[in-house]
Amino acid sequence: MTKIAFSLIVCCLMFASLTEREDSSGFGSAQIVALDECDPATFNAPNAVGPDFCRNIALGAATTFSDLFAKAAAGTPDPNWDFEPDALTVKKGTTINAVNQGGEPHTFTEVAKFGGGFIAPLNAPGEEIVPECAGGFSKVAVAKTRILQGSQLQVTGLSKGEHLFQCCIHPWMRAKVEVK
């Protein structure tokens, strides 16, 4: 029994060292998930965003279109609209996969400083639009960071240091990536 346990420990250590080498070589990846709970009935209404915009698959949880804006205006945005994890530490060369598992589109936009997005009523009171989000999807740099429902965006080539990402639509959706 002791020889079997020792063999298992050696195998685990060998696997861990191979994984470590793979990450430091730039072949590793990490995932950040974009989540939301849009209510299809209110988001897809003609007087809101329109047909087939919200494709929420969450069971029993939903935020109405008016509640989303009311909570943002009050400075208490819906915590169920989030990037998970909020903070991540990776090695240089790691690919970040931002995956949208929410019901509506988001962006995963790198910003110099957190701030407001391009839909002013969703910004915190007094919060200015960050330059990286200004212009919305008419700006190619913002459009390239869009992640539609069920899709993903790969971010590569991050330098050492802290990188800030936010959704330019729902600016309270934020993530810090520390590259070592």
176 or 11, which is more confident? 176
**Banded model confidence at residue 150, pLDDT cuts 50, 70, 90:** very high
The mean per-residue pLDDT over the stretch 43-67 comes to 88
pLDDT band (50, 70, 90) for residue 27: low
At 9-22, the pLDDT tens digits run 333 333 333 333 33
- Confidence (pLDDT) at 59: 72
The whole-angstrom separation of Cα 174 and Cα 104 is 16
Q: Which residues are 111's β-sheet partners?
A: 164
Domain chopping of the chain, boundaries: 26-179
Query: What dihedral do alpha carbons 107, 111, 116, 119 form, nearest 10°?
Result: -30
Domain 26-179, CATH number (from 3.30.420.40, 1.10.3720.10, 2.60.40.10, 2.60.40.420): 2.60.40.420
pLDDT in tens, 80-129: 899 999 999 999 999 999 999 999 999 999 999 999 999 999 999 999 99
| Average predicted confidence (pLDDT) for the chain | 86
d(C-alpha 83, C-alpha 29), whole Å: 16
Give me the pLDDT at residue 56, please: 84
Q: What is the DSSP pairing of strand 87-90 with strand 174-179? A: parallel
